[in-house]
Amino acid sequence: MSSNTPKFGVDLITFYNPSFWNLPDESAIQELSDRDPDAIWRKILDSAAAAGVTSLEVTFGPADIGSIRRAFGSATEFKKELDGRGMELKSAFYLEGSWEPDADRGEIADSAAAYARFIKEAGGDVLVAAPPMRTTWNAEPPQFNDFDFLKNVADIAHVVGHASLQEGVTTALHTEAHSTFCTARDVDLLMALTDPLFVSLCPDTGHLALAGGEPTQIVSRHRERVVISHWKDATGPAPLRVPIDDSIHDSHREYFRRVGAGSVDWFAWGRLMREIGFTDLALLELDAVADPVTEITAAREFIEQSLSTVFP
């Protein structure tokens, strides 16, 4: 592997398939986390190491910040465990707070600061936040993702970004399919509405492809905002005019593929990452797959071998 090839990370949603745990459903994984968080973390960390991954992004449960506290006692002790394994926490997904216009900005700031403090104490430096999901296209009344709507999202993103920076952690907005931050136009508008000193970008190649965009073209326009990126593939665009409810994230999974097994132009993406000097970390992700070690290993090997001309 070239010295210029990125380090590899993984978002922990990759390990959330019940088959991986020999359990009947996702609620059973959460029950295991509540009962025996050590078992959850031991298997995840062992599996990440087996896939050649050294950096982690923590997300929602069962392997969330709450489970870290139950298993290790504190962010500092978690960092010690990772240090001993030659691993690191890079980032964590922030799912607290609210994007509602009347949300208490002070409460949001306090929540984001506490979350960022944990990230920093555990060795990370990025808080990933996801703007709200869209409303189903035929809902009454309709919710248009227009300037006024995204101006409120930007205002709250500024609150989160300012609070996290006080703890030494950068806030980055994640591009989630069927959210208010998924199409090329969404990204352009919300990036224009947010101050780059406080709000950065976490592009997700798979989600951008699902929303009908070409990831490299979209991100190239905002290259100076990228502080972390999620590398995953997709078969192609998914329908946008579908019911958007609690099942929408599960419905995405049929379109997602590991890096190199879908429609994303990885050579163009790799060249862009090299051009902007963002070659330190490739955060691999594939939502809740049954054999995450095999899938992440294959994604890593694709980058190491097929993109060797991009990262000479």
Residue in the structure block whose two tokens are 């087996």: 50
Residue in the structure block whose two tokens are 């960022």: 116
Count of the separate structural domains present in the chain: 1
- CA–CA separation, 132 and 78 (whole Å): 30
Residue 6 per-residue DSSP state: P
CB atoms under 10 Å from CB of 56, counted, come to 26
| Residue 262 belongs to some domain of the structure | yes
| Residue 242 belongs to some domain of the structure | yes
Contact indicator for 119, 166 with CB cutoff of 8 Å: no
In DSSP notation, 110-178 reads HHHHHHHHHHHHTT--EEEE-PPBPPPTT-SS-----HHHHHHHHHHHHHHHHHHHTTT-EEEEE--TT
| Residue 1 belongs to some domain of the structure | no
- CA–CA separation, 69 and 60 (whole Å): 14
- Whole-angstrom CA distances from 305 to 52, 90, 250 are 14, 24, 31
| Residue 312 belongs to some domain of the structure | no
Instruction: pLDDT tens for the chain, 312 residues: list them.
Output: 445 678 999 999 999 999 999 999 999 999 999 999 999 999 999 999 999 999 999 999 999 999 999 999 999 999 999 999 999 999 999 999 899 999 999 999 999 999 999 999 999 999 999 999 999 999 999 999 999 999 999 999 999 999 999 999 999 999 999 999 999 999 999 999 999 999 999 999 999 999 999 999 999 999 999 999 999 999 999 999 999 999 999 999 999 999 999 999 999 999 999 999 888 899 999 999 999 999 999 999 999 999 988 876
Q: What are phi and psi of 98, to 5 degrees?
A: -150, 150
| Residue 311 belongs to some domain of the structure | no
| Residue 256 belongs to some domain of the structure | yes
| Domain carrying residue 282 | 7-306
CB burial of residue 77 (10 Å; 0-12, 13-18, 19+): middle
Query: What pTM, to 2 d.p., does this model score?
Result: 0.96
| Residue 135 belongs to some domain of the structure | yes
**Half-sphere exposure at residue 240, Cβ-oriented, CA atoms within 13 angstroms:** 18
pLDDT of residue 232: 98
Specify whether the backbone of 74 is left (phi greater than 0), alpha (psi in -120 to 50) or beta. beta
- State the CATH number of the domain containing residue 69: 3.20.20.150
pLDDT of residue 312: 64
| Residue 123 belongs to some domain of the structure | yes
